[in-house]
A and B are shown apart, each in its own frame.
Chain A
Amino acid sequence: MQAVQVKINQKMAFENTTDSGNETKAARIVFHTKDLNLWYGADHALKNLNLNIYENEVTAIIGPSGCGKSTYLKTLNRMNDLISSVRITGDVHYRGRNIFDPTYHVEELRTSVGMVFQKPNPFPKSIYENIVYGPKLHGIKNKKILDEIVERSLRGAALFDEVKDRLKENAYGLSGGQQQRLCIARALAIEPDVILMDEPTSALDPISTLKIEELMQSLKQEYSIVIVTHNMQQAARISDRTAFFLNGECIEYDVTDTIFYRPSNQKTEEYITGRFG
């Protein structure tokens, strides 16, 4: 049954890619992680990870606190570089390129791999300035293009109608849920390929959470999304694939339905049924 499901999925995947051009099946893999190990000082935080992230899917990473799920997410756009005690072995390939290759500039990687953080973190600037921050960094100065980017990004994040009359006002005046959607819009503005989300709804109320979950469903048409979440129901609701992490290891990674209804590992089952975590 499980095998059949995977097969169906792969078949659908194959059809998807043939629709969009003559890419091979391998091109559908966005991130290919091979034997990834990561240490914070002496603390072995990620152990021998091997997993692939697929295009136009929502991939959820679940697991108890301290299991390494956020660490793995931050490895994908190399935000871990900011911590000086980090040591990494193994490879992560983004669209076939090793992200740890010294000739691959992290700024270039992060232009393709955007990130939304746990706590909404808009800049203390206007809504408009928040959105155009990224495009301006990359040299876009034309006012008309910037205006278009702002509208497209805000629409993409389902925020445009709520803020269209106050684009020049400070982003701190928005509610927490609106701020988080603004951060998503800000990430969309640089037209990334992948969006990483680190517990994006954990600081939000249920209604804002619902809005962002709906948003992710529409975003995955164009983007690939990796989300770390504490909330198992959320993972079950929104993701196509789920990885279960425990103590820095990837215990099980499969299509979400399989993980939640027919997990092959006993630890996964125990976690999902709430026996620990």
Chain B
Amino acid sequence: MKQMNREVVTNKMNRRLKMNTLAKWIFFGITLLILCILVILLVRIFSQGMAYFDWHFLTNFASRRAENAGILGPLVGSLMLMVVVIPIALILGIGTAIYLEEYAKKNWFTHFIETNIQNLAGVPSIVFGLLGLTIFVNVFGMGPSILAGGLTLALLVLPIIVVTAQEAIRAVPNHLAHASLGLGATKWQTIQKVILPSALPGILTGSILALSRAIGETAPLIVVGALVFVNYLPSGFMDGFAAIPIQIYNWTIRPQEEFQQLAAAGIILMLILLIVLNATAVWLRNKLNRKQQ
């Protein structure tokens, strides 16, 4: 009659509870392992690089002699690349996401486009480099310039921005949009005043992830023709350029110990840039959230 045998339940109870505790410790261990790796990485970089990371390092050009070498050229190059990447990637990425989520009819063609954008996010960055070389450098005749490099990086991170922005827009509850439309708002007013403000934190998070990736990319810039040694500042967006990750790569392949330390100093600079980028996003997000409330 009874299908639950109390005796069996009691016998199994002990084992189940043990598994429960075990699962907790396994996941704790995994997290600890990752943390350890991160700490080792940071300690190594800082102990190697701090000796060279000073004002001199930030304000001097590259040099064949390690004690004179600085990162000014690549730093300015990377910042100027970001000036190209940020507006282009954000405008095109968020614009595409808005169109796909809010305007496009949900048919096989839209689905086909969405699938392809998701696949693009997985394409190796060097392929984007080749695309940039063919289209921006050669066909459009931009040469190996900051503009060509920036456009290539923008293309590279575009799929990530589109996909994360789409998800953020999709996560805005429908009932908010209905409330707005029910008051006689047009679709654009609803997107502008209700959907985008609610989706903004999510869009920002995705965009920062994407831009962090752009600032650290090396391969596509090498293909596009970035310089490895500059001792001048670019005077405009059509000039040749170096970038921090390329400089780091260039230093690490030198045999001398001093250049290894310079590379570590370059990595510290890069980490600082990433932290600034992330902090700006967090600050912006909190500010916008507060404004909305």
- How far apart sit A123 and B179, CA to CA, in the bound complex (Å)? 8
28 contacts between A and B (CB under 8 A): A79-B181, A82-B178, A84-B105, A107-B185, A110-B181, A110-B184, A111-B184, A114-B183, A117-B178, A117-B179, A117-B182, A121-B173, A121-B175, A121-B176, A121-B178, A123-B176, A123-B179, A124-B176, A124-B198, A125-B292, A133-B193, A134-B185, A137-B184, A137-B189, A170-B293, A183-B179, A186-B179, A190-B184
- B167-219 contacts to A, CB under 8 A, are 173, 175-176, 178-186, 189, 193-194, 198
B185 to A: closest C-beta gap in Å: 5
Q: Contact check: which of B105, B183, B198, B292 meets A133 at CB < 8 Å?
A: B183
Q: Mark A80-100, 1 if CB is under 8 A from B, else 0.
A: 001010000000000000000
- Judged by DSSP, the binding face of B is helix
Q: Indicate if the CB atoms of B186 and A107 lie closer than 8 Å.
A: yes
Q: Does A47 contact B (CB under 8 A)?
A: no
Contacts of A205 in B (CB 8 A): none
Contacts of B178 in A (CB 8 A): 79, 82, 117, 121
Q: A123-B194, A124-B198, A133-B193 are in contact. Are A82 and B181 (CB under 8 A)?
A: yes
Q: Does B106 contact A (CB under 8 A)?
A: yes
Q: Does A187 contact B (CB under 8 A)?
A: yes
- A18-50 contacts to B, CB under 8 A, are none
> In the complex, what residue of chain A is closest to B190 when comparing beta carbons?
A137
Question: In the complex, given contacts A110-B184, A117-B175, A121-B175, what are 14 additional A-B residue pairs having Cβ atoms less than 8 angstroms apart?
Answer: A110-B182, A114-B183, A117-B179, A119-B175, A121-B179, A122-B179, A123-B179, A124-B176, A124-B198, A124-B292, A126-B293, A134-B183, A134-B184, A186-B179
Q: A84-B106, A117-B175, A133-B193 are in contact. Are A124 and B182 (CB under 8 A)?
A: no
Q: Mark A163-181, 1 if CB is under 8 A from B, else 0.
A: 0000000100000000000
- How far apart sit A108 and B186, CA to CA, in the bound complex (Å)? 10
Contacts of B181 in A (CB 8 A): 79, 82, 110
Q: Indicate if the CB atoms of B179 and A137 lie closer than 8 Å.
A: no
A197 to B: closest C-beta gap in Å: 11
Which 3 pairs show the lowest CB-CB distances between chains A and B?
A111-B184, A134-B183, A115-B182
B residues contacting A by CB (< 8 A) are: 105-106, 173, 175-176, 178-186, 189, 193-194, 198, 292-293
B46 to A: closest C-beta gap in Å: 42
> In the complex, what residue of chain A is closest to B186 when comparing beta carbons?
A107
B112 to A: closest C-beta gap in Å: 18
Interface size class of A (residues with CB under 8 A): 20 to 34
Contacts of A122 in B (CB 8 A): 179
A residues contacting B by CB (< 8 A) are: 77, 79, 82, 84, 107-111, 114-115, 117, 119, 121-126, 133-134, 137-138, 170, 183, 186-187, 190
A230 to B: closest C-beta gap in Å: 19
- How far apart sit A261 and B177, CA to CA, in the bound complex (Å)? 41
> In the complex, what residue of chain B is closest to A171 when comparing beta carbons?
B293
B263 to A: closest C-beta gap in Å: 47
> In the complex, what residue of chain B is closest to A196 when comparing beta carbons?
B182
Contacts of A124 in B (CB 8 A): 176, 198, 292-293
- How far apart sit A119 and B179, CA to CA, in the bound complex (Å)? 11
Interface centre among B105, B175, B179, B181 (most CB of A within 10 A): B179
B250 to A: closest C-beta gap in Å: 49
Contacts of B184 in A (CB 8 A): 107-111, 134, 137-138, 190
A178 to B: closest C-beta gap in Å: 16
B219 to A: closest C-beta gap in Å: 42
> In the complex, what residue of chain B is closest to A121 when comparing beta carbons?
B175
Q: Contact check: which of B173, B185, B293 meets A137 at CB < 8 Å?
A: B185
> In the complex, what residue of chain B is closest to A78 when comparing beta carbons?
B181
> In the complex, what residue of chain A is closest to B289 when comparing beta carbons?
A124
Q: Indicate if the CB atoms of B180 and A133 lie closer than 8 Å.
A: yes
Contacts of B198 in A (CB 8 A): 124
Contacts of B183 in A (CB 8 A): 110-111, 114, 133-134, 137, 186-187, 190
A120 to B: closest C-beta gap in Å: 9
- How far apart sit A124 and B175, CA to CA, in the bound complex (Å)? 12
A170 to B: closest C-beta gap in Å: 5
> In the complex, what residue of chain A is closest to B187 when comparing beta carbons?
A107
- How far apart sit A109 and B178, CA to CA, in the bound complex (Å)? 15
Q: Indicate if the CB atoms of A77 and B293 lie closer than 8 Å.
A: no
Q: A84-B105, A117-B175 are in contact. Are A77 and B182 (CB under 8 A)?
A: yes
Contacts of B194 in A (CB 8 A): 123
A77 to B: closest C-beta gap in Å: 7
- How far apart sit A108 and B173, CA to CA, in the bound complex (Å)? 24
- How far apart sit A82 and B176, CA to CA, in the bound complex (Å)? 13
Contacts of A109 in B (CB 8 A): 184
